[in-house]
Chain A
């Protein structure tokens, strides 16, 4: 299995990234802030505006190191991708399928199945771990409801119906999301998803986690030679990494949501680590964001056994493995795309 390399986060908005030999050098007022060899890096995520040198971008594009630029508040700005290389036949297969409703639905339904299944088991796990702290009956009834959607999705060959199922399942799941917050209830409550802008602490963290996950997923897709912009469930839209968004559906719950929930429940984040702008947007302070990124990196290093491959890999390689499995399906090596099913 491929080795998971490190991610470099640049949170100082006035740091400029440049290339020196095989090193990335972070400059601030012409002074070197840090220097590290690029062969240890998997990707670079920067917050703020200063930028990077074209030489560095070219170097990274050639070596499959992804660079993503976010605004200081974590909103997505741009991503650097190099010349399209990899496998043309694979990409053509992807485009052909994405043009066909039924063929797309056959893949898309597995994303949705993965998503609902993982949400269901998150709820089941809560009833098992905290029978005295959550409303077990309510959780169980929603879990049964999700079962039914799973059953329906299994034989669904229509994208619109699938989107409907996904929406309903998500609605049910979010009904009990707030109940999974067990600590710091007074300041961390969830009243439904709000984005652009996120309007409370929980949504601010969820949005940020999804951005990080999408970045990892898009980079993984491109490193196996797929086009992250051509999706099966999400329609094509300029500048949107539709396939990456498709692929993170199954990971949102178990990867991002559970990560955010555990930060709250383990009291690693506190309400003081957020501030509100005039337009109602709630954002993390620099301190909290650093803490968040640190925990995210730690999560990526945790080892798990991949449910389909049966191989031990770090969490951080899950997007890569799923991208690989999708590529195998598109090539015809697998009968079906195996979603990441996690109990």
Chain B
């Protein structure tokens, strides 16, 4: 299924900046960055649980927020892209 992950990490302290980098890194391991703090990941239920646990360990629950949108398997008609930086269709034909 396609899962959309967005986050807000408070970066006013150096500690926050480090959290931000780490959250981005974890998200990138599972999916592709479509906008600055928005990631699209194609994962199964087990992978999603793992990803969620990894992120929950990282963030500061007092200051940061994390939103996860499950778009299911039939996500193609639910997502539309307009403008620059079109995302890669990870389940389409991949030729570079």
Complexed CA–CA distance, A10 and B30 (Å): 21
Given contacts A6-B90, A34-B88, contact A22 B96 (CB under 8 A): no
Task: Choose among B43, B47, B88, B94 the residue that contacts A9 (Cβ–Cβ < 8 A).
Answer: B94
Tell me, yes or no, whether B16 is within 8 Å of chain A by CB: no
Give the A-B pair count, Cβ closer than 8 A: 58
The segment out of A35-43, A75-83, A138-146, A159-167 that lies at the interface is A35-43
Tell me, yes or no, whether A7 is within 8 Å of chain B by CB: yes
Complexed CA–CA distance, A8 and B92 (Å): 10
Closest CB of chain B to A303's CB: distance in Å?
Answer: 14
Considering the complex, which residues of chain B in the window 57-96 have a beta carbon less than 8 Å from any beta carbon of chain A? Answer: 88, 90-96
Contact B29 A37 (CB under 8 A): yes
Q: Could you say which residues of chain B place their CB within 8 Å of the CB of A290?
A: 95
The interface of chain B, by Cβ under 8 A from chain A, is 25, 28-32, 41-44, 47, 88, 90-96
Considering the complex, which residues of chain A in the window 1-45 have a beta carbon less than 8 Å from any beta carbon of chain B? Answer: 3, 6-12, 15, 21-23, 26, 33-37, 39-40
Closest CB of chain A to B73's CB: distance in Å?
Answer: 11
Contact B91 A6 (CB under 8 A): yes
The interface of chain A, by Cβ under 8 A from chain B, is 3, 6-12, 15, 21-23, 26, 33-37, 39-40, 290, 293-294, 297-298
Complexed CA–CA distance, A40 and B92 (Å): 11
Closest CB of chain B to A240's CB: distance in Å?
Answer: 28
Q: Could you say which residues of chain A place their CB within 8 Å of the CB of B90?
A: 6, 36-37, 40
Closest CB of chain A to B91's CB: distance in Å?
Answer: 6
